Structure 1
């Protein structure tokens, strides 16, 4: 394979990584152990590993299976945070966005334009225009611009750029630029980047206890969810990147103090691209009374969201209600000329934003008022937690938390992630120049090759190698033609997928890109990946049955009218079968 072998998360590699975690004893501890495999945890592991430290990363489910695979899929500065006067966060996010586009992850992050419609000609053009002008000015300080400058659109030009807008309501608009990415794939690439730099990484490993020596945390006890085995992992410093599970983990560690995190639910729907006519790679942003509404182009689809409502149920049972879906449709229809209906909804996904809670428990202050700036805290000696922030600033958060954890033990090891690219970046531009030849050689159109490049970057050569070895793998999946059969196989051979849902929900995105939420493709994918994972027929049937049950529960939840009702439908329903 063209990539360094140690970054490939094969089934055999997982065994080797677990062995390395077991070998982290009291006499030979890891320098850093990270708990939590979302973007913050993966980013911290990558940061620490590039410093030359011995690093471990554990995640109780699949990589990015929580919040980090259920975002708006934007790497953006956070235009709405200018309204909150959160200039520091916006400036930081814009700087990080540009770094990703220009240097560290150009294969995973690409520019996208948004039209911001005006409904009051003078007031909106003045107020919104001045905000976006400041937004753009903050991108031009001391560096080359990564995206074009904004422009004002008069009524006719607005409808030329975005014909689907309601021209009777919108009197004009402004077009500005941000960036988008595939959130789950971005986290996976960070995990593989950490592994490339010798981190020991293992999904489906649950922290069941924290190890102490006196008051100090010296590691964790983990359970391998695939085998049921429990073992200790010792570390000089442990970093908790638990997201909405932060407080649960702090309590497990017996911490007297810690971070308070507020869970806020956000849902998105997908509709067919042809349903909303617009210029290529151009979306809509508008403000609602509760949140910001995005209509985001996503290949053959639109991703539309989001909501922002407090979630007080078990984080494992988050789901969208019928009222959530209607809310998103209502606010999309408020700006579109041709109304969308429930029949237009292809898929729905929901997640929880982990927001720092700056007010006392019991306060009625809304979650939309909570700052997105992150906080790092030593919750116990040897245990550092991080929470807050936003997706775009993951690298800064990783640098901060690793710096903090190492401040006493190893202060002379600076972060290198400002200059070290995410895996798949090196060689990407050359491969991109060859995309016409790739399309010709495999009989694909350029749209498919563009999709593949955006998913894999330079690692596409390894996917192509599978197709070259077996012509049948160059064919699309029968019930999910946007994806190749080779991609399903590559998910388990190199990307750490352990279960059918890992492939259908995160290596691909079939749970919201097809009307049946990936159920029709389940049998074909299970047949492809089963032999790689050592499944017998009974195991394969359990995997398919578990996924179907999980999707059925989600669909049933989408008919409910309260968070309590949707959580009850999802309670105890896992996307993967119990393995023990």
Structure 2
């Protein structure tokens, strides 16, 4: 075998730090706002029409340049300007399973360089658990909440069992989640693993700037390149990029306090901080993205949801009806991260 060194990070945590850094430097950012149309002025895209998903209020924003950086939904935005635009993307679904740490003793990870579908399999210590993945399943759609398919779960369990002392079963899964990769479309007969993970920038005849593809490891370079392109398209004077040396907004060191659930590290102070300083507006925000509870232990997250809803309601000034609605919405969401009870019982 070969030993090498790699790194890991909290993707949601970095996204929040980036948003906070935008504010630190005089910028603006909005969450829970969806774009439903583009504003064309003199044959050029000069803004967007949007909707506040919390209040339902219609919004319009104008700008010298509009950048479409919407991941697997980039083609949806492009077609608002050009309904017949050929697709840039070939979305691919990747699934991960989370099991307890004792399935992979020690601090090292394991990489299997080639599996049955030509991809690699990772077994990685992650936030006190072990992450098993991944898959590469073509998607013709791009749902907001992709769900793992049974054959994907079985593939990961079956492949991991070849390399572990014990074979994990469905009953050992703490959480299962799926994500969509915004792969750049290529030869339709090419293997999924050969589709490009690189990024591309394209400008429509109306001036809509789209950046697609890429990955977190190149996000800063992607931002630099697309901003430079947008400045040229808008006729703005060039300015040197500072992001390579810019320190991002740092998170707080919260004092030790009793957790809201015995299997989670989330505290009441953490929930209040998420609402006051990290733009959290829903129970899902707190349990999925300000903490990673939903991804680490779906059952524990479901049990903690009522307490989170109460604390969040107090911080945001919401009423009992809002608490009930949040609990119901989160219960529906968590079903996609939990292995069915019948599967657990039979494992």
| Counterpart position of 1:288 | 115
With normalisation by structure 1, the TM-score equals 0.56
Task: Please tell me whether the aligned partners of residues 12 and 290 of structure 2 are also in contact (alpha carbons under 8 angstroms).
Answer: yes
1:242-285 Cα offsets, whole Å, 9 max, x none, are 1110111111223664651111000000111122212x2x1001
Which of 229, 243, 264 aligns to 1:404? It is 229
The within-5 A match list for 1:27-426 is: 173-254=1-82, 257=85, 260-278=88-106, 280=107, 282-286=108-112, 287-290=114-117, 291-359=119-187, 363-408=188-233, 409-424=235-250
Task: Please tell me whether the aligned partners of residues 101 and 130 of structure 2 are also in contact (alpha carbons under 8 angstroms).
Answer: yes
Distance in 1 (alpha carbons) for counterparts of 2:45 and 2:71: 20
1:417-447 Cα offsets, whole Å, 9 max, x none, are 11111111xxxxxxxxxxxxxxxxxxxxxxx
Distance in 1 (alpha carbons) for counterparts of 2:99 and 2:245: 38
Question: What number of residue pairs does the alignment pair up?
Answer: 340
The within-5 A match list for 1:486-525 is: 486-516=269-299, 518-525=301-308
How far the C-alpha of 1:230 sits from its partner, in A, is 0.7
Task: Please tell me whether the aligned partners of residues 133 and 156 of structure 2 are also in contact (alpha carbons under 8 angstroms).
Answer: yes
Task: Please tell me whether the aligned partners of residues 244 and 315 of structure 1 are also in contact (alpha carbons under 8 angstroms).
Answer: no
Structure 2 gap segments, 5+ residues each: none
Distance in 2 (alpha carbons) for counterparts of 1:226 and 1:515: 25
Secondary structure of 1:335's counterpart equals coil
Query: Which stretches of structure 1, 4 residues or more, deviate above 6 A after TM superposition?
Result: 556-560
Q: 1:306/1:505 Cα in 2 relative to 1: closer, same or farther (>3 Å)? A: same
RCO higher in structure (CA 8 A, sep ≥6): 1
Structure 1 gap segments, 5+ residues each: 1-172, 425-455, 468-473, 561-580
Task: Please tell me whether the aligned partners of residues 322 and 559 of structure 1 are also in contact (alpha carbons under 8 angstroms).
Answer: no
RMSD (Å) for aligned C-alpha atoms: 2.0
Q: 1:559/1:387 Cα in 2 relative to 1: closer, same or farther (>3 Å)? A: farther
1:341-393 Cα offsets, whole Å, 9 max, x none, are 2221111110100000023xxx3323211111110010243320001112100
- Max radius of gyration: which structure? 1
Task: Please tell me whether the aligned partners of residues 217 and 380 of structure 1 are also in contact (alpha carbons under 8 angstroms).
Answer: no
Distance in 2 (alpha carbons) for counterparts of 1:231 and 1:243: 22
Distance in 2 (alpha carbons) for counterparts of 1:208 and 1:261: 20
Q: Pick the structure with more helix per residue.
A: 1
Task: Please tell me whether the aligned partners of residues 378 and 384 of structure 1 are also in contact (alpha carbons under 8 angstroms).
Answer: yes
Task: Please tell me whether the aligned partners of residues 284 and 294 of structure 1 are also in contact (alpha carbons under 8 angstroms).
Answer: yes
Task: Please tell me whether the aligned partners of residues 157 and 168 of structure 2 are also in contact (alpha carbons under 8 angstroms).
Answer: yes
Distance in 2 (alpha carbons) for counterparts of 1:256 and 1:421: 42
How far the C-alpha of 1:535 sits from its partner, in A, is 1.1
With normalisation by structure 2, the TM-score equals 0.92
